Structures are given as C-alpha cells and as structure tokens.
Structure 1
Amino acid sequence: MNVIGRLTRLFGLVVIPVFGLVSPLLVIPAITSTFDANAWVAVALGQSVGGAASVVVELGWGLNGPQRVARQSPAISRLTMAMSVLSKFVVFVPVTIVAFFVAGGLSPAHQLESGLVAIGSAALGLSCSWFFIGTQRVGSLVLTDALPRMLCAAASAMLILLGAPLWTYAVLGLLLPSLLSVSLAITLNGVSYSHFRKFSFRRIIGLIVCQGSALSGRALSAMYIALPVTIVTLAAPAAAPVFAAAERLQRMYLQLLAAFPNMMQGWVGKPGTRVAKRSRINSAVLYNAGLGVVAGVAYSFMAPAVAAFVFSGVAPIPFEVACLGGVLIFFVSTSRATGGLALVSLRKIHVIAWSALAGSVIGVPAIFVLARYYGPAGGVLGEVIAELVVLCVQLVTFATSGKRDAQADRVDGTSAVNPITSRQ
C-alpha cells in the first residue's frame, strides 16, 4: 500500500477513537454537574463491572479476529462475522444478568442505575469493530460503530441536562448504540439470515470453547483493567471518586492511542516469509513503545487540568496520580504490541493468558492493599505493577521466540533482517 493509502487509513483509525473520546466527554460533565459524587461513583462502578462483563461477551474476537479476517475472502469473512455475533449473544444474556446484580449490590447509592450502566457497558462487547479493523474498512467502522455511539451519547447528555433521570445514560447512551452498531455492521457487510442458519446451537457452543485461549487472556486482563474501580471502592470508599476519575481518563486516553496498534493489525498479520514477518513484529513493538513514552509524559501534565473540566470539580486528580497514570500508559502501549500484535502473529495467544494471569495474581491484591493505605495514588500504583508484570512475561516470550527464529535462520542459511532499517 502506498504512503497516501496508509495515511488515509491512519486518519480514519484516529477519527474513530476520537469519536469514542467525545462520547464520554459529552456525558460525564452532564452527570457530574447535575448529580452528586455518589452518582458518579455509581456510574463508574457500573462501567467497571460492565467492562469486565464485556470482555466475556466479546469472547476474544478483538484479539484473534482481525488477523483472521485479514486473510479471508469476503464470502468466508461474512460467515466469520455471523459466527461472532451468534456466539456473543449466547453469552450476553447470562453475563449481563450477573453484572446487573453485582453492580447494583456493590453501589453505595443509585443501585438500579449502576446495574443498568453495567448492562450497557457489557453490551460494548457485542461490537463488530474488530471485523472492520481486520478488513481495513475504516469508513464502515465509523458509520456502524463510532457515529452511533457519539450521537446517542450526545442525546443522553442533553436529556440529563434537561432533567432526565440518571438511567437515561445507561439505556440511551450505552445499550442502544451497541445494539445499533451490531445491526448496522450486519446490514452493511451483507450478512443475511442464511449465514446465521449455518450454525446450530451446538456448533456455537463449540465455537465458544474454541475461543477459550483468546477469551482467557482477555478475561484475566479484566481483573486488573476493568475491575480496579470495583476493587478500590471495596478497599477505600473515600478514594473511589478520584480514583474512578483518574482511571476513566486513562482508559479514554488509551482508547485514542489504540488507533496506532489497530492500524498495524493487517500489516503485521499479512502473509510473508519468517524473516519479513519478524521484521514487521519488531518494528511494531518499537514504534508502540516510543508512542507510549510520548503519550505518557503528555498525560502526566494534561490530566489534572482535563479532570477539572470533565468531572466538574467533583474528583480533582493530583499531579502524582497523573504521573503514575503516565507510567501506566507507557506499559499498556507497549504490551498492546507485544501481546495483541506480536504474540498473536507468532501464534502464542496462550502466553497472553499466562501474562494476564500473572498480572491478575499480583495486581489485584496490590490495587486493594495500596489503595487502602495510599488512596487513589496507591490504586493507580497497583495498576502499574500489574501492567509491568504482564509486559515482562510477554517480553520474555517474545525475546525467546526471536532467538529461536534467529537460530533457525542460521540453520537455513537465511540472513537476518534488521528490524529497524528493513520494512515490508
């Protein structure tokens, strides 16, 4: 693909997270300026529990799906989308019932609204955005996913400012756009009833089991990615508003940064020789790490000022918390490349699950204990520790695989390619 084509695709993949960034920027100020801090905690808790549930609903398709459809013909890719949608909806109903009662039971106030937000947040896992990322159809992704979410978020913010109840955000701002997104993706991609008829319930259950490796990594990751607000609320309720604000800004910022590794999915996953493939992988890791350094420093200085606007003074973010968030952003940006790009391309998805398990085992108690004694800063530090453990496990596997490939190249008589100077 020429330079103009790559720049166009990059622009489109940046526009999509920007739309996703605008949505909460429209809604959160409306909530925090209309309701009290307890309402913000209830919403954040619902998003935390629902975010973990959405990982289960998503079934790991966002991890191994893009590179899979990148190699498929249009006809086969339609069947893949149909499989994905069916399998997700089978999981969606029982998972959201559990999420509703968990969020409602843990919320100190606005229990019904917190449970509904959990359902709406869990519905994010239904998205077919991974499909359009893999097929590099950026325009379709904007039309089917980013635009509906932004419009529904704006509508819910407007209604809340006009006096609508808090649950308006859950139903109109979260659940409705997710259902619209799936419907539009199916229609736009030409998936018909005949595609869905090819899969029996037994076959769908088998597919869910087959997605186990990708799902296990995602589900374990949710322990230290989606659930920290829940953990901190249990450990130190007084720290919950500020921690939830910092955590939310971090995730919004990381959503914007996701454009970069998403753009590389098709490039890293395309067919090629072993040497060329390793060159692309190495480059992807280096580029994402560099992006993480720049983005982390920028976040450290911007977060306190942005929080003052977004959260209407309800949850001010101290500078030390912002700096820890910047370190977290660097680790996440790098692990997105070592895990979601490198290990997937090397067919070592099981290592992502092991790294997530290590991060959860160390990170969850670290978040709880540190938040209990050091408040919001301790909670973010626990997240940093979890992400560092994940990154170390992935880097060790990645480095070991590189050494084995280099030895194989010498045996085959293949000269190594410099990952910095060589591009494909």
Structure 2
Amino acid sequence: MTEPSTAHRRQGLAPRLAGFFGIPLLSALAPFIILPFVSRIAGQTGWGDIVAAQAIGGFGAIAVTFGWGIFGPPAVAQTAAEHVRQRLYRDSLVVRGLATVFVLPVCLLITWAVVGPHHLTDSLLMAGALTLTGLLPSWYCIGIGQPMLMARYDVLPRLAAALVSVPLMLATHTIWPYPVLTTLALVLPTAMFTRRILAGYDASAEPHRSLWAVLRQTAATAGIDAAGNAYGSTPVPISTATLSPADGSAFSSADKLYRVGLTIVVTSIGNAFQGWVLDPAAADRRRRQLLAMGAHAVTGVLGLVFLATLGPWVTGLVFGTDVAAHRAAAAWYGVAFLFISLSTPLIRNLLIPSGRGRFVLAGTIASSILGLALMGWGAARHDATLIAFGLASSEVLLVALLAGPALRLLPPAAATAGRSAS
C-alpha cells in the first residue's frame, strides 16, 4: 500500500486540527531552538544578513515549488484514484526538480549580492538549504489528510537536525552546521517518501504528455506564489540593504516572529481545513467553508494583537535585546498577519478549487505592485515602518480584491439544510 486508504483520509475535523496544528507546532520549535543561538553568534551586524538569506531562500523555495503548494492539495484531496495521485506527485517531482536547477544558483547569487562579508558562507548555506525545502512533500500529505506522514518525512527530521546542530554551533561558534544538517534532513526523507508513494506506479500506462503540458498544470498557481512572495519575501532583503545594521536587525526580528506565527497558526489551520472542506463526500460544504473562514478570522485578530503588543518583548527575549523589534514595524506586521489569515481560505478553499487561478494571479500582481512601490519608498527614506506598511498594504488590497468574487462561490445554503457536519 503506497498511502493511507480513502476511508482513512476522510477523517473528522478534530483529528485533522490536532495533527495539522500539532505537527507545525513541532516544526516551529526549530526556530526557537536555533535562532537565539544564531542571533547571538551573528550579533547585531550579522543577524540581518542571516535573516535576509533566509528570506531569499524562502522565496526560492516558493519558486522551486512552482505552484504545487496551492494546486497540489486540492487536486489530491478531490480524487480517490491512487494512480492519479501518483501521477500528480510524479509530475510535481519533474517540475520542481527542473525548477531547482534554475532557481538555486539565482538565490545564491542574490544572497551574495545582498549580505555583508562577515557571514557570507553561512548566509549562502542558509539560503541554499531553505531553497531546497521546496522539494518537500508536505503538500501531498495535506491533500490526503495525513499529518503524521508530514511529521515523519518533513517536520521531525528537520527538528532533529536543529537539535543536533546546537552543540556543533556552540563548539565552533559558527552557524554553518544548521543549514548543512537541515539540507541532509530534507533530501534523504524526501527520497524515502518518493520511493514510498511511487511504489508500483507504471508511468508507461499513462497517456504521453509533453513537458509543457506538465508545466501548464501549475503555471497560474506558480504565478500566484511568485507574485505574492515578491512582496512577502522582500521586506528583509530591502531593509538589510538600505537600513543601518541596528535598524535592519530589529526589522529582521519582527519579520522572523511574523513568519514563525504564520507557520504555527495560519499554515497549520489552513492545512487542517483544506482537505476537510474540499472532501468530495461532504454534504455540508457551505457550513464547512464558513467555519474555516471564521477560524482564520479569529486567528488573524489574535495574531494582530500579539504582534502589536508583545512583539518587541518576545523578540528581545528570544533573539536578544540588541535586535528586538521596534513596535511600529511589529504592529504593521500584525496587520499583515490578520489579512493573510483572511485571504488564505478564500484562495485555497474557494477560488483555486473553482478554477479561478488567473483571477487570483491578477489580484496578487496588483497587490505586489502596491507593496513593492511602498517598500521602495520606505527604502529610499530609510524608514523601516514604511517598509512594513508596504507589506501590510499588499495583504489588505488582496483581500479587498478577492473577497467578493470568492464569497459568491460559496455553496448554496440549501445544500446543507437538515444535515450536520461529519
């Protein structure tokens, strides 16, 4: 058996939430284990460089994924045919492998151009390791509703790499053990997962398709990812290149706390709800959609309050008082957190599954243009608050553009009359 049965995949919401919230919570422990050591080894002059390299690597991972993180889960969730799911996974390997060949050198070159000389090797290794995370199979685990598979082949190996790297970093007073071990912890498990999923798959039995046809499957969602991350991943590289080392490091701390929060909360809740909401056997689809949107809204408000009020204190405690986030930037990151929480179910549960990828891409491009323009203005003024405001404005505009069309795609209320959630 290559993966859990369809019956197993159709589990209730509570187990999904427990798994997809608890597993990313373990994943989020890695930054809190590692980054306090990294920030203190790098110091005020190097912390911004390391975070910039992580941001560049994060954008590289999105490019390597080439839209499969958005397209893949609903595509897998809405089919029960094992050979179709295997074909989808194989297609993703072809596309993501090809993307890696082009994206990895570009990310390393950008990192070399942006960061300073003191931690150049560490920064290059960090950017490379994070770029390769685009090869991880988490999207497939989300689609089949199996968080434990994601834990086994993604989260736990990387958490183990973080734990092992701590004594090596302390012994050498260098940062390189962390990205090197992280790379090993994602390449080897991904190879094992691939062997498991594709066991018994006969590619020759499938109709022949050109590489272009394989690429076209996720072209629109790849554009959405690229456009969204054009403004989502650029604040730290921009701040590192244009602000003083002290201000750039403080800005990087706000950004890092924001992204850890997205991983723990927004991503995990989105992953938990997506397969459940899109389950083809569900009889109460409208109620499930509304419940998902409500959960994301509450999550977003809590994240906004946390970042705006406790962000400076938490970053000072975790990363060091000399690189603690400034309150104004942390508050705008909180606004961004709220609106990315609101947009997540609209995109992942309504628009993309309904074939509105091009519409989402157009809205994301418009948001990117606004965000990048404001960030460029902030960079020219050497104003960290304005750069953070640019990120928040992008997310606000995206929700404003997508909300109406997405809500019109909600299933009719009559479809759930007299029924209860499974």
Mark yes or no: TM-score above 0.5. yes
Q: 1:116 aligns to what? A: 125
Q: CA deviation at 1:347?
A: 2.1
Q: Does 1:339 align with 2:355?
A: no
Q: Does 1:390 align with 2:385?
A: no
- In the alignment, structure 1 residue 322 sits paired with structure 2 residue 330: yes
Shift of 1:371: 4.6
Residues 39, 168 of structure 1: alpha-carbon distance in 2 compared, 3 angstrom cutoff: farther
Report the count of equivalent residues.
411
Distance 1:398 1:129, change over 3 A: same
Q: CA RMSD in A?
A: 2.9
Cα shift at 1:158 = 2.2
What amino acid is aligned across from residue 227 of structure 2 in structure 1? L
Tell whether the 8 Å contact from 1:67 to 1:266 is kept in structure 2 after alignment.
yes
The answer to whether residue 47 in structure 2 is matched with residue 40 in structure 1 is yes
5 Å matches for 1:131-150? 131-150=140-159
1:202 and 1:422 mapped to 2: Cα distance? 42
- Establish whether residue 89 from structure 1 lines up as the match of residue 97 from structure 2: yes
Which secondary structure state, in structure 2, belongs to the residue aligned with residue 162 of structure 1? helix
Which of 8, 28, 36 lines up with 2:35 in the alignment? Answer: 28
**Partner of residue 256 from structure 1, selected from 264, 271, 280:** 264
Report what 1:77 is aligned to. 85
TM normalised by structure 2 equals 0.89
- Cα deviation digits, residues 8-38 of structure 1 (max 9, x gap): 2211111221122111111111112223223
Matched, 1:160 2:169: yes
Indicate yes or no: 2:314 matched with 1:306.
yes
Residues 56 and 215, structure 1, Cα contact 8 Å, conserved in 2: yes
User: Does the CA-based 8 Å contact 1:299-1:322 persist in structure 2?
Assistant: yes
Deviation at 1:68, TM superposition (A): 1.1
**Distance (whole Å) between structure 2 residues aligned to residue 417 and residue 18 of structure 1:** 33
- 1:229 and 2:236 equivalent? yes
CA distance in 2, matches of 1:298, 1:227: 23
CA separation in 2, counterparts of 1:198 and 1:126? 25
In structure 2, runs of 5+ residues without a counterpart are 1-6
Aligned letter for 2:67?
A: G
Tell me the TM-score normalized by structure 1.
0.88
Q: Give the whole-Å Cα distance in 2 for the aligned partners of 1:95 and 1:200.
A: 29
Task: Name the SS of the counterpart of 2:172 in structure 1.
Answer: coil
Task: Give how far 1:212 is off.
Answer: 0.4
Match of 1:410 in 2: none
Q: Tell me the CA shift for residue 276 of structure 1.
A: 4.6
For residues 198-209 of structure 1, the aligned pairs below 5 Å read 203-209=210-216
**CA shift at 1:271, angstroms?**
2.3
User: 1:238-284 deviations in whole A, cap 9, x for unaligned?
Assistant: 432111111111000110012111111112212269x9544433332
Query: In structure 2, what is the Cα distance between the partners aligned to 1:198 and 1:372?
Result: 57
Q: In structure 1, what is the Cα distance between the partners aligned to 2:331 and 2:112?
A: 32
Change (3 A) 1:231 1:200: farther
1:401 Cα offset (Å): 4.2
- Alignment equivalent of 1:266, drawn from 275, 292, 309: 275
Contact persistence 1:128–1:181 (CA under 8 A): no
The 2-side partners of 1:131 and 1:392 are apart by: 30
- 2:4 equivalent in structure 1: none
CA distance in structure 1 between the partners assigned to 2:203 and 2:310 by the alignment:
47
Give distance in 1, aligned partners of 2:153 and 2:128: 20
Contact (CA 8 Å) 2:35, 2:319: kept in 1 or not? Answer: yes
Matches of 1:148 and 1:306 in 2, distance apart?
27
Q: Which residue of 2 aligns with 1:64?
A: 71
Supply the AA of the counterpart residue of 2:341: S
The 10-residue stretch of structure 1 (193-202 or 338-347) with the greater mean CA deviation from structure 2: 193-202
Contact 2:13 2:276 (C-alpha < 8 Å) held by counterparts: no
8 Å contact 2:55–2:237 — kept in the other structure?
Answer: yes
Measure how far apart 1:232 and its partner are. 2.0
State the distance in 2 between where 1:201 and 1:57 align.
Answer: 24
Distance in 1 of aligned mates of 2:202 and 2:138? 19
State the 1:416 CA deviation. 7.2
Measured after TM superposition, the shift of residue 423 of structure 1 is: 4.7
Are the structure 2 counterparts of residues 316 and 281 from structure 1 closer, same or farther at C-alpha, using a change threshold of 3 Å? same
Distance 1:123 1:263 in 2: 24
Given the alignment, which residue of 301, 305, 311 partners 1:297?
305
Displacement, 1:317?
1.4
CA distance in 2, matches of 1:6, 1:269: 12
Q: Secondary structure at the match of 1:219?
A: helix
Quote how far apart the aligned CAs of 1:237 are.
Answer: 4.1
Q: State yes or no: 1:13 paired with 2:20.
A: yes
Q: 1:415 to 1:24 in 2, by over 3 A?
A: closer
The residue aligned with 1:409 is none
Distance 1:381 1:145, change over 3 A: same
CA distance in 1, matches of 2:303, 2:202: 42
- The CA distance in 1 between the partners of 2:322 and 2:343, in whole Å, is 32
Whether the 8 Å CA contact 1:55–1:219 is kept in 2: the answer is yes
Kept in 2, the 8 Å contact 1:232–1:368? The answer is no
Deviations along 1:35-59, one digit per CA (max 9) or x if unpaired, are 3223222211111111111111001
Query: Residues 4 and 100 of structure 1: is their aligned pair in 2 closer, same or farther, counting only changes over 3 Å?
Result: closer
Whether 1:128 aligns to 2:132 is: no
SS at 1:347 equivalent:
coil
Q: Which residue of 2 aligns with 1:103?
A: 111
Residues 119-145 of structure 1: per-residue CA shift (max 9 Å, x gap): 111111111101111101111111111
For residues 339 and 180 of structure 1, the distance between their equivalents in structure 2, rounded to whole angstroms, comes to: 32
Residue deviations 1:215-238, cap 9 Å, x none? 000010111111221122233344
* Contact kept? 1:83, 1:196, Cα under 8 Å: no
